[in-house]
Amino acid sequence: MRRDNNLKNDLIIRTLLGEQTERTPVWMMRQAGRYLPEYIALRNKYSFFERCQTPELACEITLQPVDIVGVDAAILFSDILVVPQAMGMEVQLIEKQGPLLPEPIKTAADLNRIYSAGAAGNLEYVYDAIRMIKKELDGRVPLIGFAGAPWTLLCYMVQGKGSKTFDEAKGFCYQNPKLAHQLLQMITDVTIEYLKGQIAAGADMLQVFDSWGGLLNKQDFETFSLQYIRQIVAAIKDEVPTIVFAKGAWSSLGEMAATGAHGLGIDWCIEAQQARQFAGDKITLQGNYDPARLLAPVEEIQQTTEAMLRAFGPGRHIANLGHGILPNVPVAHAKAFVDTVKAFRHA
């Protein structure tokens, strides 16, 4: 396991490795983003992919929540959709609507338009950003690198846009399982090389986002998602601590723990004790505050955050939201969540 000895705050790394810590570490999924006025100022000047592809901008945005909100980890500013882009697909980000992939994958001929060999080499700008961020952070907090899980990327690559159900993507898998598995394996191969590139550039730990894992039943989650996540975790877990976040896929927490990941993300629809029962006691749990609860009055945020900390108990817990922070959350409320965790001590 590689560890950066220059880290002044390594609470999150120690928690993932099951070591004792003075307090629970905290960060927020999607913490670098739209609720911060400093981010919106940059958004008004540069397009989304300009922000991702310019290391100076990605670096500045990555550091914003560390400076402004005081979280215990930085997460690389980028997006999971840079991988399909690097594989040869066009990806647009439409303001206030979300991702658009105008030529989605529907047939074997479509699959021939994209490639896996060499694709991770198209993401050099991400590795450059990571090197710059590590230098700029100067050991203040660890840097989290990330990628989307193959299943969640397939959802966007086949559906072509966001969806509540991803029914076209699921239909594709059930009608053309052979093609689906070819695509999932291609994404997996690129993702492994990409994450190894992030490690080489200096990422201290990694998270795999399977935002749509919860759309599949347990058997289909194994078939179309987990067997690929397993390959990714196996390839990186001995190099840096690794978290798997498959939103809604709580019935597979035990199987996900068995991949050898160091941490599992959970959302707010499962209780801490239930998640612990499913996942076993040898893995760190991350979560699970309802992001919409950050819209409540500050005093309530403090009370419910403390209740969450008590429910998970000391050790083997990283405080986080159960999904990404919402754009309409006041910065002071995000800060109240973070400050409450940092002030709390288990009896």
Query: Which one is catalytic: 4, 79, 128, 290?
Result: 79
Assess 43 for contact with ligand CP3 (CB under 6 A): yes
Assess 290 for contact with ligand CP3 (CB under 6 A): no
Q: Among the candidate windows 76-84, 133-141, 235-243, 337-345, which touches ligand CP3 by CB under 6 A?
A: 76-84
Assess 93 for contact with ligand CP3 (CB under 6 A): yes
Query: Which one is catalytic: 3, 23, 30, 131?
Result: 30
Alpha helix ranges (H) inside 95-210 = 108-111, 124-137, 150-159, 167-175, 177-201
Query: Which one is catalytic: 3, 23, 43, 131?
Result: 43
Query: Quick one: which of 151, 209, 250, 289 contacts ligand CP3 (CB under 6 A)?
Result: 209
Active site residue 43: yes
Assess 99 for contact with ligand CP3 (CB under 6 A): yes
Q: Map residues 210-229 to x or -, x wherever contact with ligand CP3 holds by CB under 6 A.
A: -x------------------
Strands 98-100, 92-94: pairing kind:
antiparallel
Assess 161 for contact with ligand CP3 (CB under 6 A): no
**Cα-based distances in Å from 122 to 53, 81, 163, 247, 273:** 11, 13, 27, 28, 43
3-state secondary structure of 210: strand
**Contact in structure between 208 and 242 (CB atoms under 8 Å):** yes
**Contact in structure between 283 and 245 (CB atoms under 8 Å):** no
Assess 91 for contact with ligand CP3 (CB under 6 A): no
3-state secondary structure of 207: strand
Distance of CA 344 to the CA centre of its chain: 25
Please give the single-letter amino acid code of residue 231.
Q
Catalytic residue set: 30, 34, 43, 79, 156
Report the interface residues with ligand CP3, using CB under 6 A: 29-34, 43, 48, 75, 77-81, 93, 98-99, 146, 162, 209, 211, 324
